[in-house]
Amino acid sequence: MGRYGQVLNMATNLILVLLTIPLAKILDLENEERNLLYVRITYGSVQALIIFLCFYIAAKIKEKNDITELSYVEPAKPFPVSKEPPKMIETTIRDYDLDKNKEVLNQTFTSLALIMFLHFYLGLNQPLLAQSILPLKNIYQQQIVQIHLLGKEVKRPFKTVSLFDLTDSSNQTDKVAFKKKKQ
């Protein structure tokens, strides 16, 4: 997914969030405890499904046990500006996929903690509704899900494009990048 795809993804997420505003008003989450209970159950179910999918994908990765070597140059992080040079990573496809799956799981738990803070501490109900919809779309778009659940062929290492990074921060696997890094 290039910059255009990422902008389209962000626009879709924004539209989905904006659609939850009138839906929250229709459901009257502030006054209708029953509707709020249904939204809480839906949110909890979606989060449980995503966590289950992450563990299922991890089991599939371990079952495949693809120990094909994978070498790539990981670019330096653009923010915060660091003096750290790009590093050469040598791993296996199994370990790479497990790391990416762990990243998805960490994102899920971080989102869960944030939404629980917003809902229970600050008393905001609308984020529950929005996060009952968005994670389903986001998990479907994860490259690790595309490979292990949908059976699509996706080249590793996964390309990551940042809207804030004006340089090409995709992981490089070509021989020129390796030679530059080794010198």
Q: Does residue 80 lie in a domain region?
A: no
- pLDDT: is 178 or 30 the higher one? 30
**In the predicted structure, residue 91 carries a pLDDT above the cut 50:** yes
Query: Looking at residue 166, what is its pLDDT?
Result: 45
Q: Does residue 123 lie in a domain region?
A: yes
How many domains, the chain?
Answer: 1
Tell me the mean pLDDT in the region 85-90: 87
Percentage of the chain surpassing pLDDT 70? 83
Q: Does residue 77 lie in a domain region?
A: no
Q: Does residue 112 lie in a domain region?
A: yes
Q: Does residue 34 lie in a domain region?
A: yes
Whole domain around residue 10: which residue ranges? 3-70+93-164
Going by C-beta distance under 8 Å and a sequence separation of 6 or more, which residues neighbour residue 72?
88, 89, 157, 171, 172, 173, 177
Q: Does residue 131 lie in a domain region?
A: yes
The one-letter amino acid at 25: K
Query: Looking at residue 86, what is its pLDDT?
Result: 82
Q: Does residue 171 lie in a domain region?
A: no
| pLDDT, averaged across the chain | 86
